[in-house]
Structure formats: structure tokens, C-alpha cells
A and B are shown apart, each in its own frame.
Chain A
Amino acid sequence: MSSATKASRIGEELWKTRVDKVNAELVTLTYGTIVAQLCQDYDGNYQEVNKQLEKMGYNIGMRLIEDFLAKSNVGRCANFRETADMIAKVGFRIFLNIAPTVTNWTSDNNQFSLVFDENPLADFVELPDDGRAQDELWFSNILCGVLRGALEMVQMQIEAHFVSDVLRGDDTTEMRVSLVRYIEDEMPPDEE
């Protein structure tokens, strides 16, 4: 069984049996009000909004990883490909009830894309028609931060960014994820 199939099974089983649920619209609208607040606080400076969303996601990711590990009871991934499946098929399933497609691997296996068919965060969303938002704002940028924060806690430094979004008029919503390095010195011996 491929690691993707295995991960899908784990993810679906967890979603069915272990995940407490709430009304999806509560989550969607709450995320919407967060983004709207940022747009207001940063006076329509969408680059800054993207940055803040990523930062918020990072803070969330560092905490969310514990919930992921506690619920899923999965062990350490053997390689980055396995990590990608774990994120897409277990992580996204548990927290957003979706399973983006893992694709577009680079030959060194250090970079992949997540392609989203569904994005509950963006349900009901239309970007402001101000001639800029569709070029500058990455509405779901919080997800990039979540991945960065969560993976950093399990000793992986990654970089993630969106390359397309249906909200911008693109045909797909795609996030690019790159492994920067494995963080080795989790606990330097001379720093005690």
C-alpha cells in the first residue's frame, strides 16, 4: 500500500471517529472576519496582510501540531514524501475535512505542490473588487504559516507559499512547499 493510500485511510478514519465537529459556517465566517480585520488594520496593504496571516498561521501551527500528534498517534515520517502525504491526507483531513492532491515533486524530492479542489476557508468569499486584491492578496495564506509552524516543531524547516488561487481568477488553488532543512540540534549538549 502506498504511503498516500495509507495516509488517506488514517485521515478518513480519524475524521469519522476522533474529531469533534462544529458548523462549518462558523469556522468559515470566523476566518473571514479575521482577514477582514487585518485588511482594515493594515489599511488595505495586502502584502502586509499576507505576512500577518502567515505569522498567525505559524503561531497556530506550533500549537496545532500537538493536537495533530495527540489525535493521530502517528509516528515520525521516514522521508519528506511521506511527510507530504501525512500533511495532505491526515492533517488537512483532520482540521479542514479536505485532502489536497500532492503533486509536482522536484527531482530531489524536496519540493511539492498541494492542489486544493476545495477550500472551506474561502467558501462564500469574493475578494474586494478594488483592482488590487486579486493581484496581491493570498486569502488563505494562514495555511502556509500553519505548515511552517507545525513542521518546525517536528524538526523540519520548510517554506510554503501560494502560487495560484481560484479567488484570484486562477483555475486552481495551489500551494508550493519546500523543505529547507532538517533541524538537527534539537537539544545542543552544551546549552544545558
Chain B
Amino acid sequence: MSVFSLIIINKAGGLVYQREFQPGLRKLSTNDYLVLAGTFHGVHAITRTITPKLPLTVTAPATTPTTASTPNVTSPSATSTPMPSSAAATSSATAAAAAAAAAAATTTHSFPNPGVPATGLETMETDKFRLTCFQTLTGTKFLLFTDPLMTNIDVIMKKIYELYADFVMKNPFYQLEMPVRCESFDRNLTGWLRGRA
């Protein structure tokens, strides 16, 4: 089973990393990768937007901006599946609703986080590949191109995220949101993928 390639998109929709691991897909030009990243980012945002928001409780909005006070509560807060778990290209609106209900039941004097976006597009499939998107809670997106029959993609994704946390985030020469040029990230990533293939 092949893992073809990986793309990392920063919070603003910029392509910060692109790497091929196994042949199988045709190469794109650098420009096309940039377009792919930006387009996916936009589509992902829209798929989140069309997900219905479920109001929880209505409380008074903040009056003084500097002090901590009641925020506006508008959206469901506990879509607590950070890893893409299903192959469905829908956002987990039902899970969100359930979680929101649970939160509402237990949080009479607490505030759910209104900044939480609903989950967006998670997978896309063609005859030749599957594209899986994992968005971290911080807004970074990992896009993995694999064989469409491949299973356990969440395991791979989780490991990639860990390697990213190790070899990108702990590297003092990496600047946040900038292109990832970390030799040891490349080395460990390819090494690990080769090891499990």
C-alpha cells in the first residue's frame, strides 16, 4: 500500500511542505502545488462554513474588551475528533450536535469555545488515489495522498504529526508559518514510512 506524498498547509493557506515518498502519481509543478494548497484551503473553509452551527446557550456579549467576560456563544464547541476517522467527505455535524448537547447539559456556568470551527472536508477520492486531510486544533493542515485502498491512515497521520512536533517545532531554526526546511524531519519521515512499507 502506497503513501504517495504529503503536503502541509499553514494556517493562512500557504504551502509550507511538499514531499513525495513513492511513485504512483504524476508530478505537479511547484506552482500547481501552491494552487492546490490554496484551493484546498479555500474549499475546506467553505465546507466548514456550510456546516450548520448549533447555538448552545445565549448569554450577554462581552462589554469590556480587556477583561474576561462572557463571550458570544454561537457554535458547537466539542468536535473532539482531532484525527480524521472516517472516509466520508462530510463534516461531523452529528457528532458536533451530540457533543454540544452534552456540553450544554454540564456547563451551566461555563462557556463553550465559540471560536471552534466545524470540521471541514476530510477526504477526497479518485480511482487512483485518496486525499486525506487532517487539520490540527491549531489550524495547520496535513494532506496525505495514498492508495485508495489503504487503511489505517489515521495511524500514519498521527505519526506524521508527532514527527512534525519533534523535528519542525523543536528546531530553533524553523520559523513558524514558514516553509519547512528541516533535514532531520525529511530523514525521519522517509525513514519511518520506508520502515512500515
Are any A and B Cβ atoms less than 8 Å apart in their complex?
yes
A: residues with CB less than 8 A from B are: 62-67, 69-71, 73-82, 107-111, 153-156, 178-184, 186-187, 189, 192
Query: Nearest Cβ in chain A — how far from B190, in angstroms?
Result: 19
Given known A-B contacts A182-B71, A182-B115, A67 and B166 have beta carbons under 8 A apart: yes
Interface residues of B in 76-124 (CB under 8 A from A): 77-83, 99, 102-103, 106-107, 109-117
Interface residues of B in 10-38 (CB under 8 A from A): 11-13
A179's partner among B49, B68, B165 (CB-CB below 8 A) is B68
- The answer to whether A69 touches B82, judged by C-beta atoms less than 8 angstroms apart, is yes
Count of inter-chain pairs, beta carbons less than 8 A: 123
| B149 contacts chain A at the CB level, 8 A cutoff | no
| B182 contacts chain A at the CB level, 8 A cutoff | no
- List of 9 A-B pairs having minimum Cβ-Cβ separation, nearest first: A75-B80, A79-B110, A110-B68, A155-B115, A67-B165, A63-B169, A78-B103, A70-B165, A70-B161
Highest count of chain A CB atoms <10 Å: which of B66, B138, B158, B164: B138
Query: Nearest Cβ in chain A — how far from B51, in angstroms?
Result: 14
- The answer to whether B81 touches A75, judged by C-beta atoms less than 8 angstroms apart, is yes
Given known A-B contacts A70-B162, A78-B103, A192-B42, A63 and B113 have beta carbons under 8 A apart: no
Residues of chain B within 8 A (CB-CB) of A182 are 71, 111, 113-115
Q: Smallest CB-CB separation from A183: which chain B residue?
A: B115
Residues of chain A within 8 A (CB-CB) of B137 are 69, 75-76, 153-154
- The answer to whether A78 touches B110, judged by C-beta atoms less than 8 angstroms apart, is yes
Highest count of chain A CB atoms <10 Å: which of B65, B107, B158: B107
- The answer to whether B11 touches A192, judged by C-beta atoms less than 8 angstroms apart, is no
Query: How far, in angstroms, from A180 to B67 measured CA to CA in the complex?
Result: 6
| B62 contacts chain A at the CB level, 8 A cutoff | yes
Query: How far, in angstroms, from A179 to B114 measured CA to CA in the complex?
Result: 13
Given known A-B contacts A67-B170, A69-B138, A180 and B68 have beta carbons under 8 A apart: yes
Residues of chain B within 8 A (CB-CB) of A155 are 113, 115-116
Residues of chain A within 8 A (CB-CB) of B161 are 66, 69-70
- The answer to whether B65 touches A66, judged by C-beta atoms less than 8 angstroms apart, is no
**Contact sample, A vs B, 24 pairs, CB 8 Å cutoff:** A64-B169, A65-B138, A66-B140, A66-B161, A66-B164, A66-B165, A66-B169, A67-B169, A67-B170, A70-B165, A73-B158, A76-B116, A78-B78, A82-B110, A108-B68, A182-B111, A182-B114, A182-B115, A184-B72, A184-B115, A186-B115, A186-B139, A189-B45, A192-B13
